Every structure is written in structure tokens, then in C-alpha cells.
Amino acid sequence: MKIALAQLNYHIGNFEANTHKIIDAIAQARQQGANLVVFAELSVCGYPPRDLLELDSFMEQCEVAAQQIAEASKGIACIVGLPTRNPEIKGKDLYNSAYFMEDGKIKAQINKALLPNYDVFDEYRYFEPSVSTSCIDFKGHKIALTICEDLWNVNDNPLYVSEPMEQLSKEQPDLMINIAASPFAYNHDEERLQVLGDNCRKYQLPLFYVNQIGAQTEIIFDGGSLVFNEKGEVLDELPYFSEAIRYYEFEGKLVKGLQVQNLERQTDIEQIHQALILGIRDYFQKSGFSKAILGLSGGIDSAVVCTLAAEALGSENVMAVLMPSEYSTDHSIKDAMDLIQNLGCKHEIIPIKSAAKTFDEMLKPVFKDLPFNIAEENIQSRSRAIVVMAMSNKFGYILLNTSNKSECAVGYGTLYGDMAGAISVLGDVYKTQVFQLAGYINREKEIIPINSIVKPPSAELRPGQKDSDSLPEYDLLDQILHQYIELKKGPDVIIAQGFDEALVRKTIKMVNAAEFKRYQTPPILRVSPKAFGMGRRMPIVGKY
């Protein structure tokens, strides 16, 4: 039989667009002589639909869409993912399901057994875990169909007490198909190859794995769908970060005509670069916006964001606003202007000195002669937010946030000031990684001015200020943050690795104390295994 893998970009709740896209792919596959076309997990409604699943009207739209897709599957079979209602009274009201449709009819339904409920995942919030399953017979083949996490229980410390493939393998299937919504993180591609390959080796079966691509606010799906032989060797890999449909001949237990691939892995930074561009592009496209605005300081963070936005949206759709204060250095304007020239994006220069002065005067009766401190620093940062948000309100620009993960982590940013924005581009990228990204962007020619890269990072909110006045050097800071945030190590364990005790305790204290700020930051494009936002849920009023 001829199997088509359709790796597509869906839009949450946009049934019209998703259904149209799925039906188009079915028509194309039929034309190519395919017998079966496979779509991703929750392809009908998009992933993650979150609490939309609790609205009856949403579930009704899923059912209507499924009927339309079934009708379009005349003369072919397809597998789509969607939420369905649990007919039993006991248990959660929904299942995370796959429909097997054949020749115009829904022939089989498989429900997901292992429901991820960690990091950004909340599936047990909505779905009842399936306890029984069986293979699907199609054209003389027995298909073991599972949904994403169902194959992810094959490690040393399994998260679930059962494994649906154990049950399916008793029926002696000929192949596995897994439909997924597996989000990007810079280390996830390797993990995926390992886990999926382990399944092939354990059950001695080939595997067709279909992921989706596209960003859904903070969560970015990277595609990279895979075909394995029964030894867990990769026979084909679909592209990352773009849509694709590919066809395979499957006979006996073999995928025909393909060699074992030696995959060349992209570096973390190359992957992050592509993920962020897709994240920006889909945020705008799926929201119906086209124009971005950001404050351009002459520093490296806003330079990188501006460059990524220009690539994602076109430089003509990017408005960079230079807002020097009285503490801004001369080179800041020059560095920012150099970048604007390199990119060809729009710009405005709006100094904020008069705003800072006005607030100083307004507050003089209250502040009297108290010394300049963080209050006056923040007034500058917040005045900039007022300027860019006013332009956003006037012209329909969407504000991009330019804070990096190191700053977000330790709270080195001004709430309602530089922490503002509709979406945070670098909030999951440590400062040391921002430098790497800048280097990667400049790999062929100088786009980001070298001066923005080599000068010491500074918020320029008081005379001669440098980040290193308040923070440890980023090389050191980022290592400690990675231990605490990504690896969840406590202070004692980190100190035992040789880091300075006072520095570790101070860093962790800063991270914990900034929880109230992070609660109000924009959604952050997730590129690491542990991003701030939905995937990391900490108490605010706690003592720790």
C-alpha cells in the first residue's frame, strides 16, 4: 500500500482552514495513488485547544469537521486526530482520539492512553485515558495506531504504569503509525529519535511518525516527521519547520526503496533561529496582524529580535523605534541606525528625556529630595513602553518584547516597561545563546553591527550603568540558571558542582523573587525544554 504522511500547519479553532487543508491533502494524496494519508494529533482542531474543549459548541464543530473530512475520503483512507466524547458516564467527558476513515466512513476510533500532564501539557485536564485498544486492518495490513505520548513510556523511569503497544503487539501488527503534536525544544529532535527508535527495536516493527509544524502562540511544532525500519533505523525524515507531504510504498513489513539515513543534525542555534522565525510569523499570520514594532536600543537583544522579525515578516513590516534617554550613549543610536540600514526596516527616533523630566516634576512634591534610584530608572523604561504602545494603538503595530531568558529569570527588567509586548521572542533564550544567535545571523556578512555584540551589556538607565554592576557575568549566571531552571537542581547540588555558594544562593533568590514579574510577562516562544510561562508553574506568594 502507498502511505502518505501529511505534516501540516494547523490553527487552533479554525475549523474552516484546518478542514480545507486536510481535504486538499487528501485530494492530492488520492491523485498520487496513495491508499492512506496520515495527519497529526488533534489536526482537526489544532493543538493545544486548552479550555475550548470545555465548550459544547467547540466539540460540535469538531464533529461537523470530522464528517466533512470523512466524506472527502472517498476511494482512500485517512487518519486524523480530534477530541471525541466519552460515551461512558464515569470518567472525563472526552477522549483524545484518532479516526480511521475509509471510503467516506469513519471505520475505527483509537483513543490516547498516555496523557501528558507536565511542562506545557494539560491533557488529563480534559481527557479520559484509554484502557483498551486494538489494531486496524487495512488492505491486508494490521496497523498498530497510537497517539504521540502513547509511545513515550519506554525509559528507565516510566511516567505511566501501562503501555498501549504491549497490548497492540499481541495482535502481531505489521507496522506502527503514531500521530503526534510534539513541540520543539532544541534537544527534542535527538530525544525523539531515541524514543521512537526504541519502540521499533522493542516491538520489531517499522514506524510511520507524523508530527505537525507551526507555532500556536508560545508552543512551536517543528515537524521532522519520521519513517523507521523495524531495527529503529531512520529511513526518511521530513523537513523541519515547514509543511510537507511524502509518499511511501509499504509491502510485507517493509518500506520499499529507501536506504538507512545518516541524519545530519542541525546545531541548537540553527534550530532555535528557525523556530523563532516561525514563532513570530505564525503569531502574526494566525492573529491576522502583519506589522511589528519594537524598541531598538543599540544593544544585542533588540538587534537580534529586529533581525528575526524582518526575516519573519519582511523588513517593510518592521518599525524600529529608537528612544534615547539622557543616559543613552552616542554609540547606541549609531549602532541601532547601522542595523536599520542593514535590514532596511522602518524607524522613528523619539527621545524620552522630556517624559522622564515631566514625571520627575510631577512626582517632586512626593519624592522631594530623595536620591535617584530604581524608581527613576523604571520611569524611563515605562515611558518607552508608552511610546511604542501608543504607536501600536494608533497604527496597529504589534509590540515585540525583547527581554532575554537570563533577564526574565533574575527579574532584571521593568514590568510595564521593557517587559511589555504581545509576544516575547527571546524570553526562552539565555543571554549567552543570544550572542550565539547574533553570531549565526552574521555568519555570512555583518547584519547585526559588531559593536552591538562586543560592547558590555547595559540598560543605560543611569550614567555609566552596566549589567555586570547588578548581575554576575552572563557566562556564569547562565550556567547556574540552567542548573536550577532546566535541570531543577537545588542550591546544594549546584554548589557541590563548584559554583560559588553566595552567588548560587543569590541567583536562586533572584529567580524566586521575580515570580510576580514573570506572571505578567507576555507569552514566550518556547525553544528549550523548560521555558517560563505555562510550562513552569510556580507559586508567587511562597517562601522558598
Residues 176-205 binding a copy of itself (CB under 8 A) are: none
Catalytic pick from 62, 78, 148, 200?
148
Is the CB of 314 or the CB of 351 nearer to a copy of itself?
Answer: 351
Catalytic pick from 2, 21, 62, 112?
112
Do the beta carbons of residue 349 and residue 387 sit within 8 Å?
no
| 291 catalytic per annotation | no
Residues 254-313 binding a copy of itself (CB under 8 A) are: 282-283, 286-287
Q: What does 115-178 look like in DSSP terms, one character per residue? A: ---STT--GGGTBPPP-----EEETTEEEEEEEGGGG---SSS-SSS--HHHHHHTT--SEEEE
Rounded CA-CA distance 535/544 in Å is 19
112 binds a copy of itself (CB under 8 A): no
251 binds a copy of itself (CB under 8 A): no
How far lies 302's CA from each of 75, 320, 321, 340, 425, in Å?
A: 53, 9, 10, 11, 10
Catalytic pick from 41, 149, 230, 377?
41
From the list 33, 51, 470, 501, which residue makes contact with a copy of itself (rule: CB under 8 A)?
A: 51
At 255, give phi and psi (nearest 5°).
Answer: -90, 125
For residue 115 the three cell numbers come to: 496523557
Site string for a copy of itself, 468-507 (x = CB under 8 A): --------------------xxxxxx--------------
At 220, give phi and psi (nearest 5°).
Answer: -115, 120
From the list 33, 158, 252, 456, which residue makes contact with a copy of itself (rule: CB under 8 A)?
A: 158
From the list 201, 334, 506, 536, which residue makes contact with a copy of itself (rule: CB under 8 A)?
A: 536
369 binds a copy of itself (CB under 8 A): no
Bridge pairing between strands 318-322 and 292-295: parallel
Burial class (CB in 10 A: 0-12, 13-18, 19+), 248: buried
| 530 catalytic per annotation | no
Beta carbon of residue 374, minimum distance to a copy of itself (angstroms, whole number) = 5
132 binds a copy of itself (CB under 8 A): no
Is the CB of 58 or the CB of 499 nearer to a copy of itself?
Answer: 58
All residues at 6 or more sequence positions from 484 whose CB lies less than 8 Å from its CB, including other chains: 494, 507, 508, 511
Size of the site for a copy of itself (CB under 8 A): 100
Residues 54-73 binding a copy of itself (CB under 8 A) are: 54-58, 60
Is the CB of 262 or the CB of 393 nearer to a copy of itself?
Answer: 393
For residue 254 the three cell numbers come to: 517493509
Do the beta carbons of residue 49 and residue 18 sit within 8 Å?
no
407 binds a copy of itself (CB under 8 A): no
Is the CB of 299 or the CB of 522 nearer to a copy of itself?
Answer: 522
| 148 catalytic per annotation | yes
User: What length is written for the chain?
Assistant: 544
> Looking at the annotation, which residues are catalytic?
41, 112, 148
